[in-house]
Amino acid sequence: MNLYVGVDISKGYADSCVIDDEGTVREEYRLDDTRSGHDQAQELAQEWDRTVSSEEELLVGMEATGRTERNWLDLFEQIADKTEPEAYCAGPLVLRRFAEQRRLHAGKTDRISARLMADYLRFGGVETDSEGTGKSPQPGLRTLSRKTKELIGRATELKNELHALLQRVHPELALLRLRAHEPVGPEVNQTASDARRGR
């Protein structure tokens, strides 16, 4: 049985939710961001690792929250050196879109956010091997996401400019486009033709 651990990091503590392949919540924890909390996380990861066979996966995921996740991500990457869990970090926008696509309630409680991350892992939200390393995705994902959004916005601007230019240079194309989408009476067509001729 595969296990998916979603971790929601807050200042000073982290909530975690462990689910299986069926989406059943097996365990939920709140661990302090202290030495004893990290020790407890290591013990839990070893326990989870014993539950999973060698053919199965143990994935740990957390939301990128502006560097507060770094302690926990580093901890789970250290744990991964000794055991088998793979640790991933996903951006908040990615998780929000995932929740919208699955029509999941994405309330802002820590427990719900941890469950959302675990579901994201369960549904294959992260690739099992990020750039062949098996470690967390590169920090450039935020940059990639931002750049993609910028390019989409720029493409929309260019399309709008192209439409405006076509209407100035070839007004008959706008009329043809209007006729193709909205059939109109002959008197409206005549009025449009007269307007083009300058009457």
Query: Per mean pLDDT, which range of 31-40, 68-77, 103-112 is the poorest?
Result: 103-112
pLDDT greater than 50 at residue 30: yes
Query: Per mean pLDDT, which range of 32-46, 54-68, 149-163 is the poorest?
Result: 54-68
pTM (predicted TM-score): 0.58
What structural domains does the chain harbor?
3-137 (3.30.420.140), 146-197 (no CATH)
- How many helices (H) and strands (E) are present in the chain, helices listed first? 7, 5
- Calpha distance 167→173 (Å, rounded): 7
What is the per-residue pLDDT across 44-69, written as a single tens digit (0 to 9) for each?
888 888 887 777 778 888 887 767 77
Contact 20, 126 (CB under 8 A): no
66: three-class secondary structure by DSSP: coil
Residue 167, classified by CB atoms within 10 Å of its CB into exposed (0-12), middle (13-18) or buried (19+), is middle
- Calpha distance 26→28 (Å, rounded): 7
Contact 125, 96 (CB under 8 A): no
pLDDT greater than 50 at residue 6: yes
At residue 149, what are phi and psi to the nearest 5 degrees?
-65, -40
